[in-house]
């Protein structure tokens, strides 16, 4: 069963997945246009899930470590497909006037479990989110 979150909460997970997929953070000009040849490479992203640290190393194969021990490898294609699905569903869910606030994205429930993601958003008592 998938959980309901609002657009901002789903967007936190989308940004995390997109950063893993891209493997870099691009610079922008004064008009906020991306500069393709100026970027910082991302080696890994870190998530904390209930006191457990997960490290996601970028590349063609995403390596996932739990408290320093490798637990999973996943092809980048899975992250690309999930990012595309999330992008569409976030705007579809947020734009649905029949639903206010939170909505589900059941299409990514298995991805979240497989990629060791238990929570969509950072703990609101800690400002460690993006």
pLDDT in tens, 90-108: 988 766 655 568 889 999 9
Q: What is the pLDDT of residue 95?
A: 64
In this structure, how many other beta carbons lie within 10 angstroms of the beta carbon of residue 72? 14
pLDDT at 50: 87
In percent, how much of the chain has pLDDT > 90? Answer: 71
What would the mean pLDDT of 67-76 be, rounded to a whole number? 97
Predicted TM-score (pTM) of the model is 0.84
Q: Are 117 and 13 in contact (CB under 8 A)?
A: yes
| Lowest mean per-residue pLDDT among 6-15, 41-50, 120-129 | 120-129
Q: Are 76 and 61 in contact (CB under 8 A)?
A: yes
């Amino acid at each position: 069963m998938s959980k309901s979150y609002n657009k901002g909460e789903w967007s936190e997970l989308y940004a995390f997945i997109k950063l893993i997929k891209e493997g870099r953070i691009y610079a922008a000009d004064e008009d906020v246009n991306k500069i393709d040849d100026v970027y910082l490479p991302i080696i890994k992203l870190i998530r904390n899930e209930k006191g457990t640290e997960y490290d996601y190393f970028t590349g063609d194969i995403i390596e996932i470590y739990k408290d320093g021990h490798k637990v999973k490898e996943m092809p980048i294609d899975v992250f690309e497909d999930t990012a595309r699905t999330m992008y569409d569903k976030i705007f579809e869910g947020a734009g649905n006037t029949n639903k206010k606030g939170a909505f589900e994205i059941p299409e990514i429930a298995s991805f979240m479990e497989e990629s060791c993601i238990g929570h969509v958003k950072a703990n609101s008592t800690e400002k460690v989110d993006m």
